[in-house]
């Protein structure tokens, strides 16, 4: 392990080290070797995650230690016994005592970081449809903004994300023709998203002309990139329907003086974990395609709603690709899923007194931008994902023309 740039001590033998790996910073668990002045990278079982949990349990509230800040929402005895999370992940997560998950930001993002303020606001509002936040550690570099280096949440045994649970659900519904479960789960999800927004209502402000212009310019930048990267059929569609597409995206420039809030920012089914009896929203790290300074800015609630709705269409496309089912058999499942999510969302938003957060005429524009982003993402990073926007773009444009 390189000599740490900075170190937060966790008890006598453990630490959270910020290390520089060829110009990229990483937050890693560390354990002292022999004399206690040198450190090595800790592995699951070395007790560094346990030491962080002990620190959190012993210091509820906020405490600053040099350039680190520790926020704890937990007291009580700290669990022990570490084991690694083995699913596909960007950072490194350790399960402690089957009760907590410690995520070290080994893939450290430059700040500012949206999660600390969102988790604090949601905790204060007693929002429960998320992995229970136990605490977090932030770090502020000499020359930059505060970022997140470790997050601790309650462990949810058996939790799987929507690219698994929703795909299975859609396939079952298409095969049996019985959409009851899809409708009931997507309704619950709509309620959860409305509760999320209602819980973040303390952050509501009003959009300015500059905000609207930034959203509009961002969408056109995505469109330009998508034009370069799309496969031939979509390139042709983007050309043929350029006028209609431009008109829809241009609507974003009219979103002036509307309510905006510290939303999730990157909401899609992959961020929704499902256990036997609940749906929870995870990952408040913001949208990775935006620069950090933009990830923390308030947006219309429609950004989240569009993200989750459009991802259901993508679930249907994935379900068709990974089974014998035709897109035609999945289309009615997709329609029922989106319809029930939207109905439940609007119903709950009204119930909680926040109906004004819903900006109906922004929804299509943000859905379209999401599909264009999938083209860009697939084109730049994951070519085998391109079949999703290849199917989603014509479907959305067809829906828009109705
Ligand atoms: P990364 O930033 O490394 O991708 P995530 O927060 O997305 O980390 O978590 C990666 C995976 O770990 C999730 O998809 C989920 O399967 C699992 N996971 C994350 N948090 C929890 C939790 N609180 N309980 C159970 N599993 C979790
Ligand atoms: Mg993730």
Residue 144's domain comprises 3-154
- Tell me, yes or no, whether 85 and 169 share the same domain: no
Gap from CA of 155 to ligand 2 centroid (Å) = 15
Integer Cα distance of 164 and 182 in angstroms? 14
What is the 3-class SS of the chain, one letter each residue?
A: CCCCCEEEEECCCEEEEEEEECCEEEEEEEEEECCCCEEEECCCCCCHHHHHHHHHHHCCEEEEECCEEEEECCCCCCCCCEEECCCCCCCEEEEECCCEEEEECCCCCCCCCCHHHHHHHHHHCCCCCCCCEEEEEEECCCCCCCEEEEEEEECCCCCEEHHHHHHHHHHHHHHHCCCHHHHHHHHHHHHHHHHHHHHCHHHCEECCHHHHHHHHHHHHHHHHHHHHHCCHHHHHHHHHCHHHHHHHHHHHHHCCCCEEECCCCCCCHHHEEECCCCEEECCCCCCCCCCHHHHCCCECHHHHHHHHHHHHHHHHHHHHHCCCCCHHHHHHHHHHHHHHHHHHHHHHHHHCCCHHHCCHHHHHHHHHHHHHHHHHHHHHCCHHHCHHHHHHHHHHHHHHHC
Can you give the pLDDT at residue 36?
66
Q: What does the pLDDT average to over 29-46?
A: 90
> Do 174 and 140 share a structural domain?
no
Asked if residue 156 has its Cβ within 6 Å of ligand 1, the reply is: yes
> What is the whole-number distance in angstroms between the Cα of residue 72 and the centre of ligand 1?
20
Verify that 73 and 99 share a domain, yes or no: yes
Rounded-to-integer distance, Cα 171 and Cα 162, Å:
13
pLDDT, residue 34, reads 78
Our answer on whether the CB atom of 105 is closer than 6 Å to any ligand 1 atom is no
Answer whether 146's CB lies under 8 Å from 140's CB: yes
pLDDT digits (tens, 9 = 90+) for 89-131: 889 999 999 999 999 999 999 999 999 999 999 999 999 999 9
Tokens representing residue 192 in the block = 């959860």
Q: Which of 135, 154, 173 is the last residue of a domain?
A: 154
Q: Binding site annotation covers 377?
A: no
pLDDT above 70: residue 4? yes
171 is in an annotated binding site: no
166 vs 171: CA distance, rounded Å: 9
CA 134–ligand 1 middle distance (angstroms): 15
Q: How far apart are CA 338 and CA 344, in angstroms?
A: 10
Q: Could you tell me the CA-to-CA distances from 299 to 246, 304, 305, 342, 374 in Å, in that order?
A: 21, 9, 11, 19, 20
pLDDT tens for 276-305 read 989 999 999 999 999 999 999 999 999 999
146 and 209 together in one domain: no
pTM of the model: 0.96
Into how many domains does the chain fold?
2
Say yes or no: 124 and 251 in one domain: no
Say yes or no: 234 and 296 in one domain. yes
pLDDT (tens digit per residue) in 175-224: 999 999 999 999 999 999 999 999 999 999 999 999 999 999 999 999 99
Q: Which atom of ligand 1 is nearest to the CA of 91?
A: 3
Residue 37: the pLDDT is 77
Instruction: Judge if 305 and 370 occupy the same domain.
Output: yes
Residue of higher predicted confidence among 38 and 217: 217
**Residue 197 shares a structural domain with residue 296:** yes
Q: Is 161 in the pocket of ligand 1 (CB under 6 A)?
A: yes
Separation of CA 257 and ligand 2 centre (Å): 33
Q: Is the CB of 93 under 6 A from ligand 1?
A: yes
Same domain? 164 vs 150: no
Q: Are 27 and 150 in contact (CB under 8 A)?
A: yes
Measured in Å, residue 95 CA sits from the centre of ligand 1 at: 10
Q: Same domain, yes or no, for 235 and 138?
A: no
| 161 annotated as belonging to a binding site for a ligand | yes
Point out the ligand nearest to the CA of residue 107.
1
CATH code of residue 328: 3.90.1200.10
Closest ligand 1 atom to 153 CA: 23
Percent with pLDDT over 90 in the chain: 95
Domain shared by 380 and 314, yes or no: yes
Comparing 72-76, 232-236, 331-335, 342-346, the range with the smallest average pLDDT is 72-76
Question: Residue of the nearest CA to atom 23 in ligand 1?
Answer: 155
Determine the pLDDT at residue 86.
85
The mean per-residue pLDDT over the stretch 10-28 comes to 95
| Same-domain pairing of 194 and 114 | no
Of all ligands present, the nearest one to the C-alpha of 108 is 1
Domain C-terminal end among 154, 182, 200:
154
**33-39 mean pLDDT:** 81
Domain final residue pick, 154, 175, 206? 154
């Amino acid at each position: 392990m390189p000599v740490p740039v900075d170190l937060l001590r966790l008890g006598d033998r453990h630490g959270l080290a910020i290390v520089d790996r060829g110009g990229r910073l990483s937050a890693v668990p560390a354990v002292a070797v022999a004399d206690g002045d040198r450190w090595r990278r800790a592995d699951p079982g070395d007790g560094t995650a346990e030491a962080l949990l002990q620190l959190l349990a012993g210091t509820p509230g906020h405490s600053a230690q040099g350039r680190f800040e520790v926020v704890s929402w937990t007291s009580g005895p700290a669990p022990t016994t570490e084991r690694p999370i083995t699913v596909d992940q960007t950072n490194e997560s350790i399960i402690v005592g089957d009760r907590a998950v410690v995520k070290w930001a080994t893939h450290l993002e430059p700040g500012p970081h949206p999660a600390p303020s969102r988790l604090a606001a949601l905790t204060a509002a007693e929002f429960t449809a998320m992995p229970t936040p136990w605490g977090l550690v932030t770090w502020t570099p000499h020359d930059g903004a505060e970022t997140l280096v470790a997050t601790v949440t309650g462990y949810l045994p058996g939790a799987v994300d929507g690219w698994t649970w929703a795909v299975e659900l859609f396939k079952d519904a298409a095969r049996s023709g019985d959409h009851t479960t899809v409708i009931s789960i997507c309704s619950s999800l709509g309620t959860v998203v409305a509760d999320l927004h209602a819980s973040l209502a303390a952050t509501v402000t009003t959009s300015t002309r500059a905000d609207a212009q930034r959203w509009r310019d961002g969408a056109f930048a995505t469109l330009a990139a998508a034009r370069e990267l799309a496969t031939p059929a979509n390139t042709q569609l983007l050309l043929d329907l350029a006028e209609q597409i431009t008109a829809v995206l241009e609507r974003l420039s009219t979103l002036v003086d509307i309510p905006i809030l510290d939303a999730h920012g990157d909401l899609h089914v992959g961020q929704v974990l499902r256990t036997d009896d609940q749906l929870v929203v995870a990952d408040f790290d913001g949208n990775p395609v935006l620069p950090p300074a933009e990830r923390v800015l308030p947006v219309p609630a429609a950004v989240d709603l569009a993200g989750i709705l459009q991802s259901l269409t993508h679930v249907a496309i994935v379900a068709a690709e990974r089974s014998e089912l035709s897109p035609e058999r999945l289309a009615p499942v997709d329609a029922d899923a989106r319809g029930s999510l939207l109905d439940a969302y609007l119903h709950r938003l009204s119930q909680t007194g926040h109906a004004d957060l819903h900006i109906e005429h922004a929804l299509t524009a943000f859905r379209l931008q999401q599909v264009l982003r999938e083209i860009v993402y697939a084109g730049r990073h994951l070519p085998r994902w391109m079949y999703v926007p290849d199917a989603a773009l014509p479907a959305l444009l067809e829906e828009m023309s109705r």
